[in-house]
Amino acid sequence: MTIAIFIWLQKKSYIAISFVFTHCKSLIMAKIPLKRQEDIGLSPYDLKFRGQHRSKEVQMTVFDINAEDAQEIIIHSVEELKSYQGKLIWLNIDGLHNETLMRELINSLQIPAEILSDVMEPGTRPQTEEFDDGLFVSIKMMQFDESMNQVSIDNLSIIVMGNWLITFQEEQNSLFNPVKERLKKHNKRFRDLGADYVAFALLDVVIDNYIFILGVLGERIEELENKMVLNPDRDLLKTINLFKRQLTDLGRYIKPAREMITSLVKMDSYFIDERNYKHFKELHDNINQAVELLDYYHEVLYDELNIYHSSMSTRLNDIMALLTVFSVVFIPITFIVGVYGMNFDNMPELHIRHGYFIVWGVMLIIAVGMLLYFKRKKWF
């Protein structure tokens, strides 16, 4: 009987937890590979792609911000860039594996080889660096695909050189579509504030996506809290640990990005106009908000883990109390059965006509009486 009660409690708990996991899915996190063995020892001036090929062909697009109607134009060679000299241009390159193209950019735009070498290493840490003719910024960008429940991670490199803004990505994506729409509608503002303002707009989108993805993950983390108290389960513990690991993965990219933004704001760079420094300080506030959210959800998971252990402990105590009550109820009954199970000839009660039914009645009265007593004491 006690075993049957325990199994019933387990089944009840399992059904409730199945509902929890139907509604609290974790995110699928893509990862950027670390340094490969064959890349160890390469010179910082070697233009060799150090990542995984994620796009078959390199695509170059140009935004002529000086034009009255700014449009995205696909170009097929570096030679075509000569017609844009002297204009405020955003050049975006999707795909980093074409080493020949990178060498042509060195000759055409005078970008230092060591800068492009960093561009061609997607696993590099977020950084900012000034060189003779410009400013280099590298950061990890994330994009959430709701239909796939997946977060894609790409390395974004930004180079500001006078009127030129050059961005490098591993593959084409739609993350910067809002900036492109703003360029088409309000290109005069971008034209007046320069290439460094466009760089700010891109970084702002990247950091806003950090906050958005943390919010999506945070909602799913908070969904667990209310359900956990009622129905703790080992599968729920696995989900908590999975969320902890995903927050740790996000922290690997977000916290170094904060260090980079902090360095950028403190740099007092010649290549950032004084009018735009207030915008870059806004970036610093936003990235701090992202890190605070990251730390907050870490604390929420830690609290949920404590709730899980407390709930499991309370549940185990309740089960043990229930089993103890039933064990105590059966002690006097077992005693009676044991007494009348002895093989003595001289036992007067054995010859009573209704002795069997009397013993059953006494045992039932004892059992019911003890159960009522325990119920009044609220022991179960």
Q: What pLDDT does residue 28 have?
A: 60
Fill in the DSSP letter of residue 80: G
3-state class (DSSP) for residue 142? strand
pLDDT at 42 over 90: no
pLDDT at 46 over 70: yes
pLDDT at 25 over 80: no
Q: What pLDDT does residue 229 have?
A: 66
* Beta-bridge partners for 137: 128, 158
Q: Select the more confidently predicted residue: 22 or 122.
A: 122
Domains, the chain, ranges and CATH? 11-311 (3.30.460.20), 314-376 (1.20.58)
d(CA 265, CA 134): 16
pLDDT at 22 over 50: no
* Beta-bridge partners for 74: 61
Identify the weakest region by mean pLDDT among 56-65, 180-189, 238-247, 328-337.
180-189
Q: What pLDDT does residue 5 have?
A: 34
Cβ atoms of 64 and 70 closer than 8 Å: yes
Q: What pLDDT does residue 34 have?
A: 61
- Dihedral sign computed on CA atoms, order 203, 208, 210, 213: negative
Place of tokens 């980093």: 96
- Per-residue pLDDT tens for 362-374? 889 988 888 888 8
Identify the weakest region by mean pLDDT among 9-23, 26-40, 87-101, 227-241.
9-23
Task: Centre a 10 Å sphere on the Cβ of residue 70 and count the other Cβ atoms it contains.
Answer: 22
Alpha helix positions (H), 194-232: 195-230
Interacting residues of 371 by C-beta distance below 8 A, sequence separation 6+? 325, 329
Place of tokens 């796009």: 55
Percent of the chain scoring above 90 in pLDDT: 29
What is the residue type of 193? L
Considering only CA atoms, which of 13, 73, 50 is closest in space to residue 227?
13
Identify the weakest region by mean pLDDT among 6-20, 86-100, 314-328, 339-353.
6-20
**DSSP assignments along 15-52, one per residue:** HHHHHHHHH-PPPEEP------GGGTT--TT-----S-
Torsion of CA 281, 165, 169, 139, to 10 degrees: -20
Extended strands (E) in 58-109 = 59-64, 72-75, 89-94
- Per-residue pLDDT tens for 146-168? 877 888 889 999 999 988 999 99
Tokens of 362: 């006494």
Q: What pLDDT does residue 201 have?
A: 94
In the predicted model, what is the mean pLDDT of the chain? 82
Q: What pLDDT does residue 39 have?
A: 65
Identify the weakest region by mean pLDDT among 24-28, 104-108, 134-138.
24-28
What is the residue type of 252? R
φ/ψ (deg, to 5) at 60: -110, 130
